[in-house]
Chain A
Amino acid sequence: MRPLAIALGLVLVAINAALAGETVSITLPPESIALKAGAGMDQTQTACRMCHSLDYITTQPGGGTAQWQGVVTKMMKVYGAPISDQDVKLIEEYLATHYGPR
């Protein structure tokens, strides 16, 4: 009888542990998108990736300088992206050149 009681007790402890301590973990697949090669690509990649993957750029409708200036300004003013004046110009030009109107 006693071994049976101990065994039952252990089973109950195990069930309790499983109920109380459920942990769910996932691993996100790596980001795989690459930007088009060109002057300003490195700066663009570094600045944008601080907060999001590069498909945020590549899936947008293509647009000229005005569109991308607006986007970069929003990223800085609204979300506080720290981009130097020098890089801002490079990034805007890079985006308008490589992700321009289609």
Chain B
Amino acid sequence: MRHHLDEVTRRGFLLTAGVAVATVVGRRPSFAADVDPLLAGRPLVRYPEKTDLILLTARPPQLETPLSYFDRAITPNDAFFVRYHVFPIPTSVDLDPWRLEVKGHVDKPLSLSMDDLKKFPRASVTAAAQCSGNSRGRFAPRVLGGQWGDGAMGNAVWTGARLQDVLKAAGARSGALDVTFDGLDKPAFPTVPDFVKALDLQRIMNDPDVIVAYEMNGQRLPMLNGFPARLVVPGWYATYWVKNLTEITVLTDRFEKFWMKPGYRIPDTPCGCVEPGTAPKNTVPITRMTVRSFIASPASGSRVAVNQPVTLKGIAFDGGYGIREVQVSDNLGITWSRAMLGPDHGRYSFREWAARWTPTGPGTARLMVRAFNTIGESQSYESLWNPAGYLRNVIEQITLVVA
């Protein structure tokens, strides 16, 4: 590999204004499975309200977005990934009887219709949702669990009612600690724990960006992304973004049932990681996302022509501090060049980036990308490891065949 890379020397990254230079020649793989052994053999499937997505599992459904969609900041609703925990999932919702109950340790329990929910001031946030186990299939040593490639993520404009407004209307009483969220997905088997997640009440009341969303990119939510309403917790992994939401319960204690403990926990260490293959001494709930960045275009494995500029495109995001810089390297990280950032959709959003690269000789070129957020967090060359396969944020790379 190094040998080939050395052959393609003296290439410069030029910042471009996103001028697309059509230099990708030959067949462009329809999705990463063509060159990605993890995804090889996984079928593209079309679920209701969805375009072709990569099937991980059918019951409950887990569908992955092909990497080609991450050349832009906003992920289309029909391409947005799907991840449920228990089966059955809701397949029909009539808004007439649907209610969002707000109950527990409150002065005034609420039973909100969709019309009621829409009477709260409308709030919008552009935020990335990412499964805690996104890219779990790439852990070495391998870990059990959903063997996602990199497509269990997406970015959308979410619109709804601020959760703090809803909770103020219900009047959480003093002494309240945790708030739980439950949706219409209910396990048929009585011993399977219902999917319920919890957030600290103070965390909610201090964060106006946590919303009960009833719109996604200006449309109602697709059923498989949580129709008619879902929680949006910008910056935090999507495990908290409870779909098909029906119940909000204020508690006077800490909620530690299955999907909070032992589920969805990371080692209680600064990196959230441990020596590969070992078990952590203590764990804490997973919360904020790590910094990640991807090259989505050209697709890995594409053929490009010598001396023809190629526009590299992709996205970067983090857990809510915002992306400050994206860099690309064509020499295994010996030198890095700054990419041009696209429009800023806010600190929780995917940030589009583009860079121009010109291959100067034939061979296999390896291109890497890394991002920095506004507090200096970045990505590393070595993958971190933990037994649940969470927090992956290694520096990503693609290969291009220069001919």
Binding between chains A and B:
yes
**Residue ranges of A at the interface with B (Cβ–Cβ < 8 Å):** 20-33, 50-53, 55-56, 59-61, 63, 67, 71, 78-81
A60: chain B residues at CB < 8 Å are 144, 147
- Complex CA distance for A26 and B88, rounded to whole angstroms: 13
* Given A24-B93, A67-B144, A53 and B48 contact (CB-CB distance below 8 Å): no
B47 touches A28 (CB 8 A): yes
A26 touches B48 (CB 8 A): yes
B227: chain A residues at CB < 8 Å are 24
* Given A20-B96, A24-B223, A79-B191, A53 and B59 contact (CB-CB distance below 8 Å): yes
- Complex CA distance for A78 and B96, rounded to whole angstroms: 37
- Chain B stretch 9-51: residues in CB contact (< 8 A) with chain A: 42, 45-49
Return the contact of B57 from the options A24, A25, A56 (Cβ within 8 A): A56
The reply to whether the CB of B91 lies closer than 8 angstroms to some CB of chain A is yes
B189: chain A residues at CB < 8 Å are 50-51, 79-81
Q: What residue in chain B is nearest A33 (Cβ atoms)?
A: B58
- What is the 8 Å Cβ interface bit string for chain B, positions 137-157, against chain A (1 contact, 0 not)? 000001110110000000000
Q: What residue in chain A is nearest B142 (Cβ atoms)?
A: A61
Cβ distance A64 to chain B, nearest Cβ, rounded Å: 13
- Complex CA distance for A98 and B393, rounded to whole angstroms: 33
The reply to whether the CB of B92 lies closer than 8 angstroms to some CB of chain A is yes
The reply to whether the CB of B95 lies closer than 8 angstroms to some CB of chain A is yes
A26: chain B residues at CB < 8 Å are 47-49, 91-92, 223-224
- Complex CA distance for A60 and B223, rounded to whole angstroms: 27
B188: chain A residues at CB < 8 Å are 51
B144 touches A24 (CB 8 A): no
B55 touches A55 (CB 8 A): yes
Cβ distance A32 to chain B, nearest Cβ, rounded Å: 7
A24 touches B92 (CB 8 A): yes
- Complex CA distance for A20 and B113, rounded to whole angstroms: 10
A28 touches B57 (CB 8 A): no
The reply to whether the CB of B56 lies closer than 8 angstroms to some CB of chain A is yes
Q: What residue in chain B is nearest A70 (Cβ atoms)?
A: B144
* Given A32-B58, A56-B57, A27 and B91 contact (CB-CB distance below 8 Å): yes
Q: What residue in chain B is nearest A60 (Cβ atoms)?
A: B144
Q: What residue in chain B is nearest A75 (Cβ atoms)?
A: B192
Interface SS of chain B: loop
A31 touches B142 (CB 8 A): no
B58 touches A51 (CB 8 A): no
Cβ distance A83 to chain B, nearest Cβ, rounded Å: 12
- Complex CA distance for A23 and B97, rounded to whole angstroms: 10
A59 touches B57 (CB 8 A): yes
Q: Known pairs A23-B96, A28-B47; list 12 more (Cβ under 8 Å).
A: A23-B95, A24-B227, A28-B58, A28-B59, A29-B58, A51-B187, A52-B59, A53-B57, A61-B144, A63-B144, A79-B189, A79-B193
- Chain B stretch 187-236: residues in CB contact (< 8 A) with chain A: 187-193, 220, 223-224, 227-228
Q: What residue in chain B is nearest A51 (Cβ atoms)?
A: B189
Cβ distance B238 to chain A, nearest Cβ, rounded Å: 19
Cβ distance B42 to chain A, nearest Cβ, rounded Å: 8
Q: List 30 A-B contacts (CB under 8 A).
A: A21-B94, A22-B94, A23-B96, A24-B220, A24-B227, A25-B93, A27-B91, A28-B48, A29-B46, A29-B47, A30-B58, A50-B189, A51-B86, A51-B188, A52-B60, A53-B59, A55-B57, A56-B57, A59-B42, A59-B56, A59-B57, A59-B146, A60-B147, A61-B142, A61-B147, A71-B144, A78-B258, A79-B189, A80-B189, A80-B192
Q: What residue in chain A is nearest B228 (Cβ atoms)?
A: A24
The reply to whether the CB of B87 lies closer than 8 angstroms to some CB of chain A is yes
Q: Which of A26, A33, A63, A79 has the most CB of B within 10 A?
A: A26
A51 touches B48 (CB 8 A): no
Q: Which of B46, B49, B59, B228 has the most CB of A within 10 A?
A: B59
- What is the 8 Å Cβ interface bit string for chain B, positions 55-86, against chain A (1 contact, 0 not)? 11111110000000000000000000000001
